[in-house]
Chains A and B, each alone.
Chain A
Amino acid sequence: MAPQLRILSNVIERLKNIKDDVTGHLYGVMYNNTLTVLTFSINVTDNVEANINHTMLQLHMSAEVYLCGILHVGQCEEKLPEMFQDIDITDNPLFLKYTHDNLKTQAYFYIHLKLEPVNDIKIINENDIRREFIYIRLRGSLPLIAQNDNIIEVLEESKKSIVSGKVGIHFPSKNAFIFNSENIEKDISLREILNIFDSEGNKNVKKDVKPTGIEDAVNAYILLKISGDRLPEENVRYAPVLQYIKRPFNSLECNLFIDTLSLVNLNVSSADLYGILVESMCRNIKLIEKCFENQLQKSETSIKLPLPIHFKPQGFGHLITVVYPSGYSDKETMEYRENLHKILGLNMTRPYFRYGNAVKFYDSQTESILINPHEAISTNDDIINGNRRVQIVQGLYMYRHYMQDNFDDNGWGCAYRSLQTIISWFRLQGYTEIPIPSHRLIQKCLVDIGDKPSNFVNSKQWIGSTEVGFVLESLLDITVKVLCASTGEEVSSLAPNLLHHFQTQGTPVMIGGGVLAHTILGISYDQITGDVKFLILDPHYTGSEHLPTIINKGWCGWKSKDFWKKDAFYNMCLPQRPVCI
């Protein structure tokens, strides 16, 4: 029976950006005879040393996400069946044809040496996936000792021992354990292990609590087995002995950090789950191995520990794991990142895999500053309808407001907070690694550039959009554009400029002037009536990081043009996005 086919909507959206005629590969999850395509790669043909190919890329995916088919964008030569040669997870690989002209997607399963067209393609979104699948983030630090650069052999050994079942898994949230499947008598599902019964109900509750920008993954930890099993076929082994070898050599010691993801269906059995998690460890170790190999080739540098990091490029709808040598700067990871951009069909104008882009995982222990609270706003026809052009901030920012960091700036710090929100955006987009500056640091910066006298530091003086622009230019080395409105009414007339800004730059905008400072996150413009709505993030909020309050009380929300005072002037600071990866 031919499998059911589902495609993540993000795949279709991404395909629209692929301009050339190219071939590529598809990756997806197969469960219960349903193939869900999550992502694709394109074949990079240029002369750059192909560091990452499609099989290598699979290692960057969560376990269970497999190479499952072939992609043709535009006119490409079909080579059957050779083009399916690397796809070994299924007997019926998928063939997807996408044409630019009519944005049409055609899918075929390769069954019995024939391409059978798929008539019913379901397009689903990320939330649909999240209802059936969860990410498991498995971590552990494994001590590793190598001699004379035999790291690769040692890694191979540990991989072998993991595959042979010498590991256990611990889920701390429910204090559950799973061990090698051979000894599992009662097979229970992941849903039961994690005690997730009413997934629908839970999801809704969670949505109130957890904003986007924070990934939700089930934490799991590795246990290393140091004992054997009394199996009838297993021979008695020899008693412990000590082999003393005298010779000069260099040892290499480190703690290998495994940090790996699996995308698992909630109904998967614990026996299958064990296998999946073992596979996820192997993918991680292979990436680590590759990272060591790359370093060993460049013998002039000292060896750095490879550290896995997870990313979720904007618009992807799934996670990707990348391993960088510990302590490498964004500049040093550039070559690898370029390759990733190319194979994933990403543009070369924005960073996606810098340290700052790394995904943040939900941690129930700490109350952290909210990311992208506006995503929790339910939109209605007033904001989005056929006549309206809507543009909002691209990517992630943090909601900075009064009283945070145990610092009382009530009544004077709003522009500072708006500036902090903007800098958080640059951090989360990977453009900068500088920490969010405190009020004092912002003041010091303005003194240093000669804008303010030295007694400005530690004062409670307001700053405006000009100062915000100065600080952004000097701390982040970016440029800003400034828009001015002499009255509150006039702010609405700048709607086309703001639309253009959010479309091309996508950065949060600071607005200040005669009165209070705010952050503008988006704009909705009715092309017929000329009505304008502004998505406002208000830094004057003094409460706790409680999303429902923030949304329900309008601290983050859509405001009409009356929000702006008629008799006040306004200046807007529009930070410009640097072009780089």
Chain B
Amino acid sequence: MIHSASTYRGKVAIYFYVFVETSKAMGRTVYAEERLHNYLTSLAKPDEYTIGLIVGQSVGQRDYIVHLAKTPPPLGKNVVEETLLSSTAEAEQNTAVENHIRAVKDIPESWVADHAKHVTRMLPGGMRVLGTFIVGPEDITNNNSNVQKLRSVLATMQKNLSCNKYLCGDNNEEHLILNLNSVTQKYTCKSVEIHTSGILKPADWKFQAKATKWHQLEALVDFDRLFLIAANKDPETLKKQLQDILKSVSDIIESSLIVIEGEVRSPNDTLELISKSKKDEKNSKNNEKNNNDQSIQINLYIPCEEKNMNSDVKITPCSASIRLVGQLVSRTFVHQKANVEEANIAIKQDIIRSLASRLEMHWDSLIEEENGSPEENITLHEPPRRVLIALPESKVTLSDYLFPGEGPQEALLSLQELLDLEVQENNVQKDIELEADPSEFYSQNKIDVKTTDLNIDSTGNRQTKIYIASVSIAILIVILAIIIQKLY
């Protein structure tokens, strides 16, 4: 396809016509809700560019978009990336006006990439950042250097996501670029394979009044697993230990068998069929009308066929153990026509992504590695717990993670910050996972104390909080930034 820089209206119209025809033949088709059109239009400003992320589910040549999220404006150069999560960033916004994007070349790549990482954490399994949208006073994809820049933005994003495989955010073959010309109010969509040709292909973006229907899948994953720390090994950082745990758990989840509503289904069965039979059965039992928000119950089983016949008993002197225990609530959405295989992949992704997000957030929040004093025999690490927030006019929920002591208002802040969404506090489903009761873990009779724990006395119950919420770090950094700005 030739991208002439022509601005004649007539020619554009013809070009557009050709593009629609071609897309029918080969390009991607993208379905989005009308509400997102309004959102996109609302971002239009006469002399500024707004960049953001396209979020949804991709199946073959079709994409179902659930959300568009504006990337918050970057802050001063001295500010580290963590500020993105900061609740005070919003206040900062007003003082940092000069950071607004005046030209496509000014788009901060790593900033957008970082935004993509944070947004990916909030997505249910099976959904990803599918690409980027840009609102600005021109047809951006008609300009070669702009296209170059956007490719580079997507490549940075991809690179950033792929170095974190447990976030399951980088399996895009193609990325979408959606452009709204704030002058003409026309939008165009292209797809691009950044790893190969890099050529823009037309895609058919459809805003439609009728929302995509989603199947909701729910699983409660019970963890109770012991990980050992060998005594003869050099001590590793907690971060490394948690990464090992993540890998181990991820392998188990990947190997597990997904059971849908008590049955193992063939990969090609459609979920519609399962939903329908569930509905029929429910109707026959009692005439419940409220079947719309029913979810499909999922169970996970680990096959234990004897693959390795190793009958060794391994005895290892250990210096510590880490027990991962608790319940992870997984809620996944797949589009209406999805089959069992797609659902299976989405569910596993959701569980692994959710665990990875928590553990990452946890180790990022640790301020000091505790090689602590000998009397600290038991430490409870509480990674943040999941809360779910429904998207407007949709049953699709996104996740946020709250550290102990944080409340739903924290979730609202990150939602506004990262997804540009205003949500009421009562839309936060905050009780799907509970905060653990630390005293249960510090009480001595619950754990194996056959060894001589002479050091444990009444002060052994002392709870050391080894994390601090990122909020506080952010505040410090922002204050620092302001001081630096004032100084120079």
- Using a CB–CB cutoff of 8 Å, the interface residues on chain A facing chain B are 139-142, 145, 147-148, 150, 168, 170, 177, 179, 183-185, 221-230, 236-255, 257, 302-305, 307, 326-327
Determine which of B222, B245, B453 lies in contact with A227 in the assembled complex, contact meaning CB atoms within 8 Å: B222
What are 19 A-B contacts defined by CB distance under 8 Å? A179-B259, A184-B262, A185-B262, A223-B303, A224-B301, A224-B304, A226-B221, A226-B301, A228-B327, A237-B326, A239-B384, A239-B433, A240-B326, A249-B451, A250-B315, A251-B228, A255-B306, A255-B311, A257-B306
Question: How far apart sit A305 and B89, CA to CA, in the bound complex (Å)?
Answer: 59
Q: Complex: how many Å from CA A248 to CA B453?
A: 10
Which segment of B141-149, B170-178, B373-381, B414-422 sits at the interface? B373-381
In contact, A227 and B304 (Cβ under 8 angstroms):
no
CB distance from B217 to the nearest CB of A (A): 12
Interface 0/1 of B81-115, CB less than 8 Å to A: 00000000000000000000000000000000000
In the complex, are the beta carbons of A221 and B305 less than 8 A apart?
yes
Interface string of B306-333 (1 = CB under 8 A from A): 1110111111111111111111100000
Does A223 lie within 8 Å of B312, measured CB to CB?
Answer: no
Q: Is the C-beta of B297 less than 8 angstroms from some C-beta in chain A?
A: yes
> From residue A255, how far is it (CB to closest CB) to chain B in Å?
6
- Cα-based distance from A326 to B447 in the complex (angstroms): 30
With A140-B304, A243-B322 known to touch, is A229 a contact of B327 (CB < 8 Å)? no
Given A227-B298, A244-B322, A305-B312, 5 extra CB contacts under 8 A: A227-B219, A227-B221, A229-B299, A238-B385, A241-B326
Given A145-B228, A239-B436, do A230 and B297 touch, yes or no (CB 8 Å)? Answer: yes
Contact of B328 among A240, A242, A302 (CB under 8 A): A240
In the complex formed, the residue of B with least CB distance to A292 is: B313
Could you tell me the distance between the alpha carbons of A97 and B305 in the complex, rounded to whole angstroms? 45
A246 to B303, CA, bound (A): 32
Q: Which of B226, B314, B447 lies at the interface centre, i.e. has the most chain A CB atoms within 10 A of its CB?
A: B226
Which residues does B use to contact A, with CB under 8 Å?
A: 218-223, 226, 228, 231, 238, 242, 245, 252, 256-257, 259, 262-264, 281, 297-308, 310-328, 355, 358, 374, 376-386, 431-437, 441, 447-448, 450-451, 453
Is the pair B281, A185 in contact by a Cβ cutoff of 8 Å? yes
For the complex of A and B, 8 pairs with smallest distance between CB atoms: A239-B385, A240-B326, A223-B301, A239-B433, A237-B327, A140-B304, A238-B436, A183-B262
Q: Are B302 and A224 in contact (CB under 8 A)?
A: yes
Distance of B7 from chain A, by nearest CB (Å)? 55
The prevalent SS among residues of A at the interface is strand
Q: A residues within 8 A CB of B328?
A: 239-240
Given contacts A223-B302, A239-B327, A250-B318, A150 and B450 within 8 Å (CB-CB): yes
A240→B314 contact, CB < 8 A: no
Q: How far is the CA of A243 from the CA of B263 in the complex (A)?
A: 34
In the complex, which residues of chain A have a beta carbon less than 8 angstroms from the beta carbon of B218? 230
Q: What's the minimum C-beta distance from B30 to chain A, rounded to whole angstroms?
A: 34
A252 and B318 CA atoms in complex are apart in Å by: 10
B222 surroundings in chain A (CB, below 8 A) = 226-228, 237
Given known A-B contacts A226-B222, A227-B219, A307 and B311 have beta carbons under 8 A apart:
yes
Within the complex, what minimum Cβ distance (angstroms) separates B314 from chain A?
Answer: 4
Cα–Cα, bound, A327→B311 (Å)? 9
B233 CB → nearest A CB, Å: 13
Q: A236-B434, A238-B437, A239-B383 are in contact. Are A248 and B318 (CB under 8 A)?
A: yes
Contact call B321/A147, Cβ cutoff below 8 A: yes
Question: Pick the contact of B322 from A142, A184, A236, A242 — CB < 8 Å?
Answer: A242
